[in-house]
Structure 1
Amino acid sequence: MEHGYHSVTTAQIAKLANVSVPTLFNYFPNKESLVFDEDIEREERLVNSVRLRKKGVSILDALFDFGLENPAFNPANRKLVREFRNFIKSTPELSIYERQITMRYEDSLAKVLQKEVRKKLGEVEAKSIAHFILDAFYRAADSSHPRKTLETLFGILKNGWAE
C-alpha cells in the first residue's frame, strides 16, 4: 500500500520473501492474490459460521457474529482498514479481483443457506440473500460506525423492509 500496487513488482515481493518468482507463483496464482492472501480461509470461515453454528443459533445471528470478527470492528484497526479499503477501491485490478472473490463467496454462502434453512430456498433467493449479507459486511467495514451499520442491515434481513 505504501508504494502503490503498480509500483511494486512480483520480483520485488519474491526477493523480500526470499523466494524465487516461480516459487512465489506456486503459492499465489497472480499478483492480486498476494493482496487477498486470506481469501480461501475467509471463505471457509464464512461457510463454517453457518454450517458449524451452535444449536439454537440462527443463521443470521451466526453470520452477524462472523461479520463482527472482521478487523474493521476493532477501533484500533480503523485507520488501517480504511487505508486498505481505499487501496482496493483505487486499484482497478484489485477491485475486479475483489468482486470475483465476492461472487465466489456468494455462491458458497448461497449453497450452504439452501442446505441449512428450514424452509425450501430457491437458488435465486439464496444468491440474493447471500449477496445482501456480503454487501452488508462491506458496507459496514466502509462505514464510520461499522457495528451500527451491520446491526441496521441485518435488522432489515431479520425484520423485513417496510415502507
Structure 2
Amino acid sequence: MASAVRDRTAGTTILDALETYLAAPKPRDPGDPSREEFLDLVHATPALRDHFMRMQRNWETTLAHAIAEESGLPDDDLQARALARFALDIGALAQESPDPAHALRTLFARLRNGWTDFPHPGP
C-alpha cells in the first residue's frame, strides 16, 4: 500500500490510490487457504494472533510514513497514522462484507465526505 501511495500518478489523491490498490484483484494460488480459513487459524492461535497484530502495526507505520512523506508532513503525524490505520481496516472490513467492492466504495466515500449525514437515533 505504501508503494501505491508513493507511485501514484500525478493528480491521483492518496485516498484514490489506496482505494484503487484495495479494489484491485489479488492473485490467489488455488492451493492456498481462503482468507476466512487463514483468519480463523490466526485468531485461534495466540502466537499467530500476536504476530499478525505486530505485522499489522508495522504495515500501518510504513503506510503512515509514506502518507506523511507524500503530504509534506512529519513522519510521526497523527493524521497520516490515522489514515493508514483506517485504510488497512477498511480493506479488512470490506472483505468481510457480502459485497466487498460496494463496501470498499462506501467506506472510502465516508473517508472523503465525513459522517455528518450518518443516521442517528432520535431523542
On whether the aligned pair clears a TM of 0.5, the verdict is yes
What do the CA deviations read for 1:9-51 (whole angstroms, capped 9, x no partner)? xxxxxxxxxxxxxxxxxxxxxxxxxxxxxxxxxxxxx111000
What do the CA deviations read for 1:52-105 (whole angstroms, capped 9, x no partner)? 111121111111111123549x9x9xx822222222222222221111111011
SS at match of 1:138: helix
Whether 1:134 aligns to 2:88 is yes
Number of residues of Structure 1 aligned to a counterpart in Structure 2: 113
Could you tell me which amino acid in structure 2 is paired with residue 65 of structure 1? Answer: T
Q: Which has the higher helix share?
A: 1
Fraction of identical pairs, as percent: 30
Whether 1:83 aligns to 2:37 is yes
Alignment of 1:56-67 (within 5 A): 56-67=11-22
Unaligned runs of 5+ in 2: 119-123
What do the CA deviations read for 1:95-127 (whole angstroms, capped 9, x no partner)? 211111110111111111111126x57611211
**Structure with max Cα Rg:** 1
Higher RCO, 1 vs 2 (CA within 8 Å, ≥6 residues apart): 2
Going from structure 1 to structure 2, the CA distance change for 1:93 and 1:81 (only over 3 Å counts) comes to: same
Q: Distance in 2 between matches of 1:155 and 1:55?
A: 21
Could you tell me which residue of structure 2 aligns to residue 69 of structure 1?
Answer: 24
8 Å contact 1:60–1:154 — kept in the other structure?
yes
8 Å contact 1:85–1:142 — kept in the other structure?
no
Could you tell me which residue of structure 1 aligns to residue 4 of structure 2?
Answer: 49
Could you tell me which amino acid in structure 2 is paired with residue 124 of structure 1? Answer: L
Q: CA RMSD in A?
A: 2.4
Q: Distance in 2 between matches of 1:115 and 1:51?
A: 9
Whether 1:110 aligns to 2:55 is no
Could you tell me which residue of structure 2 aligns to residue 33 of structure 1?
Answer: none
